[in-house]
Amino acid sequence: MIIYIISDEKKGHLSQTRGLASALLERAVQKAPNAPHAVHEISVVGKTWFSKFLYKGKDLDLPRPDLILCAGHSTHLAAISLSRHLRCPRIVCMKPSLPARMFDLCIIPRHDIPEGKTPADNVFLTNGAINNIKPQPQVTKTDTLILIGGPSKEFDWDAEHVLNQLTTIVRHCSNNIVLTTSRRTPKDFVQDVTAACPSVRVEPVEQTGPTWVADHLACAREVWVTQDSVSMVYESLSSGAPVGVIEMPRKRSKKKKDTVSRVARGLNMLTAEGEVCTFTAWAKEHKIPQSGNVLDEAGRTADYILQKFPKLLH
């Protein structure tokens, strides 16, 4: 199976398409070991709207693809144009900005679909965005990993509120504790958490590499994630570790009707289903319950795609 990924070079979007492509190739190799299998990433960064609309890949020297994947609004036009020219299915890994019917399949997180709305026939719903994190059972689990976000469109930042939760978690934790920040974390928070929790090993995001989170998730006995970092919640669940959520104040909606945001809706679903544990719930027994499920949305989606498009393996 030959897969093209149309890329905007954004880390989050590449995590989705690479994760799905990897799962597809893993299955393709098992079912057709003698066939050629490869993934090729094609960047559309710098291309104009018009050039994407007419894109036919004449600049490429690659084998003809069986499937085209894309994620990111700026990749849609190029993916559609190229797939029409090369006559292969096109799949978008997000809720598209263009009509869903323009794609053969749309892979959309279920929290992006408004309550009561029935998805179209060419929509496959996932638990959060697909990622490339997998459980690593052969790795010894020794750490409590803490992933700190920051102010976002949907949550305010309250350093004192976060620190109060962290100090309580640290006080009741016997594991090695490793904490990292994100690019949204206020700069003075590293100094604050170091002073409040001296036993915690703090590695600011500026000192980490591209595989830092994946490497540390592999060693995590449990993970805590701030409420704003929804992608980190789903990546943590994909690692197989129990996941706790550090609570943050939600911003007030400017609309007359205070509707639940898509991020809050997704976290509410996970909490109700017992997939994650809020700090408030944890504080009652000081234990994160182990979920009975390990998220493998890349694998589940790959199985669906191969069932829906059986010709991909021929």
> CATH: 3.40.250.10, 3.40.50.1100, 3.40.50.300, 3.40.50.2000. Which one for 143-285?
3.40.50.2000
Q: 126 — phi, psi (to 5°)?
A: -120, 160
Helix (H) or strand (E) holding 221: strand 220-226
Give CA–CA dist 134/86, Å, rounded.
32
Residue 284: strand, helix, or coil: helix
Tens of pLDDT, residue by residue, the chain (314 residues): 999 999 999 988 999 999 999 999 999 999 989 999 999 999 999 999 999 999 999 989 999 999 999 999 999 999 999 999 999 999 999 999 999 999 999 999 998 887 778 888 999 999 999 999 998 888 888 899 999 999 998 899 999 999 999 999 999 999 999 999 999 999 999 999 999 999 999 999 999 998 999 999 999 999 999 999 888 999 999 999 999 999 999 887 665 454 667 777 888 889 999 999 999 999 999 999 887 778 899 999 999 999 999 999 87
> CATH: 1.10.357.10, 3.40.50.2000, 3.40.50.300, 3.40.220.10. Which one for 2-130+297-313?
3.40.50.2000
- Residue range(s) of every CATH 3.40.50.2000 domain in the chain: 2-130+297-313, 143-285
Question: pTM to 2 decimals?
Answer: 0.88
Give CA–CA dist 171/280, Å, rounded.
15
Residue 44: strand, helix, or coil: coil
Contact between 242 and 222 (Cβ < 8 Å)? yes
Q: Which letter does DSSP use for residue 91 in this model?
A: E
Cβ neighbors of 34 (< 8 A, separation 6 or more) are none
